[in-house]
Amino acid sequence: MRIALRVIGFGLAAILLIAAGIAGWSWWEFTRPGPLTAPRTVVIERGTGTLDLAYKLQDAGVLRNAFLFTAAARLREQQARLKAGEYAFPAGIAAIDVQDMLARGETVVRHLTIPEGLTAAEAVRRVSDAEGLTGEPATVPEGSLLPETYRYSWGDSRPELLRRMQRAMQDAVAKAWAARSPETPLRSTGELVVLASIIERETAIPEERARIAAVFVNRLRAGMKLQSDPTVAYAVTKGETRLARPLSRADLALDDPFNTYQREGLPPGPIALPGVASLMAAARPADSGDLYFVADGTGRHAFSRTLEEHNRNVARWRRAQQERGAPQPPPAPAEGNTPGAGAP
């Protein structure tokens, strides 16, 4: 009996020793640096089971042992916490750190920039082309998206990203409208966005925005046509593309609600996506009596209060264009801007 008990005791001790050895080895294997020799990005799709996930990481060279990773996830109660997404794993990352990274959902943060002055159609195309997003984007109203850099993760929804852009624009418009000048002739936030979109397409120079806003506000008050080149370009292209040529006489004579050479007041809608700076410029124009502006050949504009002074600025601009060998635009109506005052 004693011999039998001793044999059983030695057997249990051996089993415990082996189990301890296996546990020690497993922990060492789970926590030691992994096999990855260079950083690698791996996408884990939604609905992937723990074992399939582990084998995908093993095939990608991130893990040595998919079964050990799965067993550890069960023991650590991590299975339900492992999240899908795009992960950037550094070289040598240990299996335990891979598991914790997935449990925390530390996915790659991607960025999509929508520059100021794009049309809504151009912005939607950028969202459509963005890698890693899902779903088909819907058509959105012109001027309804805020130009900005947006963060997203692999698998995020295109429609939801567009809704984020729309909410951002609504917030920006509300802030600009709340800060508007008491003397503004603008009657609604819609008109604010329309004017801001014209300002956005007229200049990329930050310090010019408020002064260009003043020109258009002064013209609205005086009952003058705005005569903005970018509105004519929008009338020609309907906002789908950029006009890749100078405006022509036929363009300026186009019978279209967006042609501010032919129609009085603001156009019926925005012509682009204005940024925060242009929204604020439209809300609070500069204190200026200017009624005219024209490109000065340096990327900036020359401003004037009288038609005589404006005509002199136009003549200087035409001479600069001739010296550069640039094509000459058609003459503008006497009361307004000259083609070239803004970027079509």
Please tell me the distance from the alpha carbon of residue 259 to that of residue 61, in angstroms, as a whole number: 60
Residue 326's pLDDT is 61
In a domain, 4, yes or no: no
Assess contact for 227 and 333: CB atoms under 8 A: yes
In a domain, 178, yes or no: no
The chain-wide mean pLDDT, for the chain, equals 90
What CATH number is attached to the domain comprising 72? 3.30.1490.480
What percent of the chain shows pLDDT beyond 90?
78
Q: Which residue, of 66, 81, 108, is where some domain finishes?
A: 108
Q: Do 129 and 99 share a structural domain?
A: no
DSSP string, 86-104: EEEEPTT--HHHHHHHHHH
By mean pLDDT, which of 92-96, 161-165, 315-319 is the weakest?
Answer: 315-319
Q: Do 97 and 114 share a structural domain?
A: no
Q: Is the pLDDT of residue 333 over 50?
A: no
Domain count, the chain: 3
The tokens describing 81, both together, are: 């916490």
Q: Do 120 and 42 share a structural domain?
A: no
Q: Do 320 and 187 share a structural domain?
A: yes
Q: Do 319 and 196 share a structural domain?
A: yes
- Tell me phi and psi for residue 163, to 5 degrees: -65, -35
Q: Do 116 and 85 share a structural domain?
A: no
Residue 319's pLDDT is 84
In the chain, the amino acid numbered 284 is R
Q: Which residue, of 108, 139, 155, is where some domain finishes?
A: 108
In a domain, 26, yes or no: no
In a domain, 331, yes or no: no
Please tell me the distance from the alpha carbon of residue 171 to that of residue 179, in angstroms, as a whole number: 13
Residue 336's pLDDT is 47
Q: Do 235 and 191 share a structural domain?
A: yes
How far, rounded to the nearest angstrom, does the alpha carbon of residue 47 sit from its chain's CA centroid?
A: 29
Q: Which residue, of 108, 130, 157, is where some domain finishes?
A: 108
Q: Do 194 and 303 share a structural domain?
A: yes
Residue 259's pLDDT is 97
In a domain, 194, yes or no: yes
pTM for this structure?
0.83
The tokens describing 184, both together, are: 């503004």
Enclosing H/E stretch for 312: helix 307-324
In a domain, 244, yes or no: yes
What percent of the residues of the chain are helix, what percent strand, and what percent coil, each to the nearest 5?
50, 10, 45
Q: How confident is the model at residue 244 (pLDDT cuts 50, 70, 90)?
A: confident
Q: Which domain, by its residues, includes 196?
A: 183-324
Q: Do 189 and 313 share a structural domain?
A: yes
Q: Do 71 and 91 share a structural domain?
A: yes
Q: Do 314 and 203 share a structural domain?
A: yes
Regarding predicted confidence, which is higher, 318 or 199? 199
Residue 339's pLDDT is 36
Q: Do 114 and 69 share a structural domain?
A: no
Q: What is the pLDDT of residues 9-46, one digit of tens each?
A: 566 665 766 667 767 777 889 999 999 999 999 999 99
Residue 120's pLDDT is 97
Closest by CA to 252, choosing from 190, 335, 318, 317, is 335
In a domain, 250, yes or no: yes
Residue 2's pLDDT is 59
The bridge status of strand 110-113 relative to strand 85-89 is: unpaired
Q: Is the pLDDT of residue 334 over 50?
A: no
Residue 297's pLDDT is 80
